[in-house]
Amino acid sequence: MSLTCGIDIGGTKIAGGVVDEHGTVIEELRVESPATDVAAIEEAVTALVKELGSRHDLTAVGVGAAGYIDRDRAKIYFAPNIAWRDVHLRAELEERLDLPCVIENDANAAAWGEFRFGAGHDTDDLLLLTIGTGVGGGLVLDGSLYRGGFGVGAEIGHLRVVPDGLPCGCGNRGCLEQYASGSALVRETRAAVRRDPARAGALLDLAGGDVERIDGPLVTRAAQAGDELARARLAEVGRWIGEGIASLAAVLDPAVVVIGGGVSEAGDLLLDPAREAFDAQLPGRGFRPSLTIRHAELGNRAGVIGAADLARR
């Protein structure tokens, strides 16, 4: 049995897993991500892989990293939410681990995981949106992972949707992730609670009366319990997602769009508004085949599974 290690580096956590050729996770570990310290990130990844490697015979390591990765899958040009600037991560990790490594954008890795083993197993053309701290994107066309001419394609979160809108970590303003991410959900929910605390009784109760304790999972729990303010905020994020998908469908024409990431745990409370907005905004609607919007099947393991499978290839 061939075993590879998949690593998923995000803005808040680093997950690692041992994965077989069928996409089954044999063992996994998770630690907090020291996102502001490049050396500490490498040390955390090295420690995770070595611990897993002490119990399993690993043949390669795939790393899904939240940033712009070059076409050779070796160097990170830039990451909006992590302190990476021109980091030769593959070479540095291979020297530390003495194993072949592949570096891939984290959303690309997740898209590949869903394509191979999850919600996209029945299509050759898939677009993945990961709705978490930011908005990630991954694209599979004709059965191949699309990276673009320089390796940084499918950065869906940095599609500009509001001219001169909110500032984004990428350096522009008005990017989709400033309106359709978990960070946007938390920001706008806290603002709504401050504006109208009388309407936010359930949310404040869950937060112990402290607005700053309101986070994405809390908003989802409140919405699932029927809180109207929480539901409205999730629906607004869903609307932005759906409108973004409609614009992307005009260019890419995927058969399936998969929604993953932490905010997607809200399920149809997020996806139904996204579907409605997509249906209302799709160019040529009513006269062309329409895509399917699905919830991701692999959950927060998608990046680990996809990165491990890409390392095997």
Separation between Cα atoms, residue 236 and residue 176, nearest integer Å: 13
Separation between Cα atoms, residue 212 and residue 217, nearest integer Å: 13
H or E element, residue 129? strand 126-131
Which residue, 33, 27, 26, 40, is CA-closest to 8? 33
- In angstroms, the first-to-last Cα distance of the chain is 15
Please give the pLDDT value at position 177: 95
Q: What is the pLDDT of residues 258-302, one digit of tens each?
A: 999 999 999 999 999 999 999 999 999 888 999 999 999 999 899
Contacts 24+ apart (CB under 8 A), 149-153: 149/71, 150/70, 150/71, 151/68, 151/69, 151/70, 151/71, 151/72, 151/73, 152/68, 152/69, 152/70, 152/77, 152/105
Separation between Cα atoms, residue 25 and residue 52, nearest integer Å: 12
Residue with tokens 């077989």: 20
What residue type is assigned to position 25 of the chain? V
DSSP 55: T
Task: State the alpha helices, DSSP H only, in 162-227.
Answer: 177-180, 182-195, 201-206, 216-224
Please give the pLDDT value at position 79: 82
Q: What is the pLDDT of residues 113-151, one digit of tens each?
A: 999 999 999 999 999 999 988 898 999 999 999 999 998
Separation between Cα atoms, residue 65 and residue 9, nearest integer Å: 5
Going edge to edge, which strands form the sheet with 76-78?
68-69, 76-78, 85-87
Left if phi > 0, otherwise alpha if psi is -120 to 50, otherwise beta: which for 54? Answer: alpha
Cα torsion for 19, 47, 264, 250, to the nearest 10°?
-80
Residues with Cβ within 8 Å of residue 267, at least 6 apart in sequence = 295
Residues with Cβ within 8 Å of residue 50, at least 6 apart in sequence = 97
| Domains of the chain, start order | 4-112+301-312 (3.30.420.40), 124-296 (3.30.420.40)
Task: List the beta bridge partners of residue 8.
Answer: 15, 64
Residues with Cβ within 8 Å of residue 208, at least 6 apart in sequence = none
| Structure tokens that stand for 257 in this block | 């769009």
- Confidence (pTM): 0.91
Sign of torsion over alpha carbons 208, 210, 211, 215: negative
Q: What is the pLDDT of residues 162-207, one digit of tens each?
A: 999 999 988 899 999 999 999 999 999 999 999 998 888 889 899 9
Question: If pLDDT is split at 50, 70 and 90, which confidence band does 99 have?
Answer: very high
Q: What is the pLDDT of residues 151-171, one digit of tens each?
A: 889 989 999 999 999 999 888
- Whether residue 79 contacts residue 66, with contact meaning beta carbons closer than 8 Å, is answered with yes
What residue type is assigned to position 212 of the chain? E
Residues with Cβ within 8 Å of residue 69, at least 6 apart in sequence = 75, 76, 77, 103, 104, 105, 108, 147, 151, 152
